[in-house]
Amino acid sequence: MGLSTLKKTILYCGILLHLLPFLPCFSNGFSLPSNFLFGIGSSSYQYEGAYMSDGKGQSNWDNFTHGPGRYVIIDGSNGDIAVDHYHRYLEDIDLMEALKVNSYKLSLSWSRILPKGRFGKVNRAGINFYNTLIDALLLKGIQPFVVLSHYDSPQELEDRYGGWLSPQSKEDFAFYADLCFRSFGDRVKYWVTFNEPNYLAPLGYRSGIYPPSRCSGSLAMLPCKGGDSEREPFIAAHNIILSHAAAVGIYRSKYQSEQKGMIGIVLQHEWYEPISNSTADKLATERARSFSFNWFLDPVIFGKYPTEMEDVLGSVLPKFSSKEMEKLKKGLDFVGLNYYTAHYIKDCIYSKCKPGVGTSRTEGSYQKSGDKNGVSIGEPTPFSWLNIYPEGMEKAITYVRNRYNNIPMFITENGYPVQEDSNSTMEEQLNDYNRIRCMRNHFEAMLETIRKGADVRGYFAWSLLDNFEWIYGYTIRYGLHHVDHNSLRRTPRLSTTWYKQFIEMHQLEWKYNNNTSKAFEL
């Protein structure tokens, strides 16, 4: 063996030893494909700030946080500055480069690109911003994974015709999507139409705690100015589904063969387990899945709403025409899953439930609970809605695999929140062991599904930075980097070191598995 080969071998073994604690994933000759996406995520309203700069129009979230939302958002804050990603994106890309991620899930601000939807001019400054951002990412070998709408849309569309409640919204979304594919599609290979429309519809149109803040009756959580909590979530969802189909149609007919990208949708996929073995609770669990997840995915894959929803909702559920049904079928190339937690489900048709989210007839008549007889479904956290249950991710992926014929999947969000605590030291804030454990256990659960044949192609940690956490304002921190919300200084947490090493280990694994003889040429 030559001296340089010896040196290389020692170096290689040294790295492996250093990574020993992570070895369980590096086993049985199994390795992830080299194009697996190790990513990190953000979204426009939560990150960009610059809310009225360079020709940007008002979004629904700008309007909400400056209006009634001020009283809903825990710390009364807004995304006017957020984490100033609009001005600091180069610094943020350097952070991603140091992290070794090969992809970045970001969303475009629709109102930055089309301040008045299709009723006004294209804002060239907006197009330029995203062009520069995309180019800067690619220069560092980071694939942009681009979401067209992560809860935000131009306020103009709300004012003009009632936003998602109007079928006209489809024309606007199609116009916007076409412009984005035309402007950025030569470099963007992963497109998402919507992030979590299955959250947007109930929060914006049932409880009313997200814009456009519409609600009524006992399901209302705010004194909304107008709305119909029993019907409007389904109307908004219907128009969103048709808007998704319109964008996919445009991408497939005009761009996909040349640009060679994929297009999908991202849904929140909370995992549900029946609270007992009773048939009623098992059926309620099926209903809960249908009313919260299959609600969107069945139409865009099978061209129809889930039977459970049709049975319960009857004429409340809008209908697709036969032409629309045909257009909808197989209307995506992949599904993005945002997975955080799991719940037990109890039936509320045959047994009594306390009033709460899910229990009414139009929500599906089920009650969610984080524990069974006082024992939590996963590891409890300070947040009542969050139990860490990595097996739930495994089950959620397997469910999608089985129901939707192993459609390609990405884990588009997974992360761990920490409550803002002014008494904690900086050191405590940076040593985020719980986050590391949470990410690592979920990653393991995901790997298990891949080993068994699920077509999962990427994992995105949420989130690159602490940011504006919707109605929680800046009181909850999800970042792998801590952000001082006064100076906006970014500081890496321990989880960045872990994630970087984890990614490096898999890169070594690729090299090893694809190049065994070279790696060990002794």
Count of chain residues binding ligand BGC (CB under 6 A)? 11
Chain position carrying tokens 């500055």: 81
| Half-sphere exposure at residue 89, Cβ-oriented, CA atoms within 13 angstroms | 21
Stretch that binds ligand BGC, among 123-131, 194-202, 229-237, 441-449 (CB under 6 A): 194-202
Interface residue with ligand BGC among 169, 195, 239, 359 (CB under 6 A) is 195
- Give which of 102, 72, 44, 39 is closest to 467, Cα–Cα: 44
**Contacts with ligand BGC, 267-306, as mask; x by CB under 6 A:** -x--------------------------------------
Minimum distance between the CB of residue 470 and ligand BGC, rounded to whole angstroms? 6
User: Would you give the binding string for ligand BGC spanning residues 75-94, x where CB under 6 A is met?
Assistant: --------------------
- Please, which residue, 82 or 284, has the CB nearer to ligand BGC? 82
195-203, 240-248, 319-327, 484-492 -> range binding ligand BGC (CB under 6 A): 195-203
Cβ closest to ligand BGC, residue 63 vs residue 107: 107
Pairing mode, if any, of strands 490-492 and 481-483? antiparallel
- The answer to whether residue 469 forms part of the interface with ligand BGC (CB under 6 A) is yes
Exposure string for 374-387, b = 16+ CB within 10 A, e = fewer:
eebbbeebeeeebb
Judged by CB under 6 A, which of 196, 281, 308, 509 binds ligand BGC? Answer: 196
| H helix or E strand, kind and range, residue 446 | helix 433-451
Q: Report long-range pairs for 230-233 (Cβ below 8 Å, ≥24 apart).
A: 230/316, 230/360, 230/362, 231/316, 231/362, 232/165, 232/205, 232/206, 233/201, 233/202, 233/204, 233/205, 233/206
Active-site position among 413, 420, 469, 509: 413
Task: Considering the complex, state which of residue 206 and residue 506 has its C-beta at the smaller distance from ligand BGC.
Answer: 206
Q: How many helices (H) and strands (E) does the chain have?
A: 20, 19
DSSP-based three-state secondary structure for 406: coil
Q: Which of 43, 143, 213, 387 binds ligand BGC (CB under 6 A)?
A: 43
- Residue from 158, 413, 420, 509 in contact with ligand BGC (CB under 6 A): 413
- Tokens for 122, please give them: 């294209």
Q: How many CB atoms lie within 10 A of CB 214?
A: 25
Nearest to 216 by CA among 205, 73, 362, 69: 205
Q: Does 207 bind ligand BGC (CB under 6 A)?
A: no
Q: Residue 479 in contact with residue 466, Cβ under 8 Å?
A: yes
Q: In this structure, which amino acid lies at residue 445?
A: A
Check if 413 is active-site: yes
In this complex, which beta carbon is closest to ligand BGC, that of residue 196 or of residue 230? Answer: 196
Quick one: 368 or 506, whose CB is closer to ligand BGC?
368
The interface region with ligand BGC, picked from 193-201, 224-232, 418-426, 511-519 by CB under 6 A, is: 193-201
> What mask of x and - would describe binding to ligand BGC in positions 240 to 269, judged by CB under 6 A?
----------------------------x-
The reply on whether position 338 binds ligand BGC by CB under 6 A is yes
What element of type H or E holds 265?
A: strand 262-268
- Sort 149 into a burial class: Cβ within 10 Å, 0-12 / 13-18 / 19+: buried
509 flagged as catalytic: no
Residue 341, phi then psi, degrees to nearest 5 = -155, 180
Q: Which helix (H) or strand (E) holds 47?
A: helix 44-47
In the complex, minimum distance from the CB of residue 309 to ligand BGC, in angstroms, rounded to a whole number: 22
Choices 61-69, 90-98, 192-200, 492-500; region in contact with ligand BGC by CB under 6 A: 192-200
Catalytic residue among 158, 196, 308, 420: 196
The distance in angstroms from the start CA to the end CA of the chain is 6
Residues forming a β-bridge with 147: 107, 192
The minimum distance between CB 205 and ligand BGC, in angstroms, equals 17
Q: How far is the CB of 260 from ligand BGC (least distance, A)?
A: 27
- CA atoms of 239 and 223, how far apart (whole Å): 25
> Which residues are marked as active site?
196, 413
Provide the binding-site residues for ligand BGC, judged by CB under 6 A. Answer: 43, 46, 195-196, 199, 268, 338, 413, 462, 469, 478
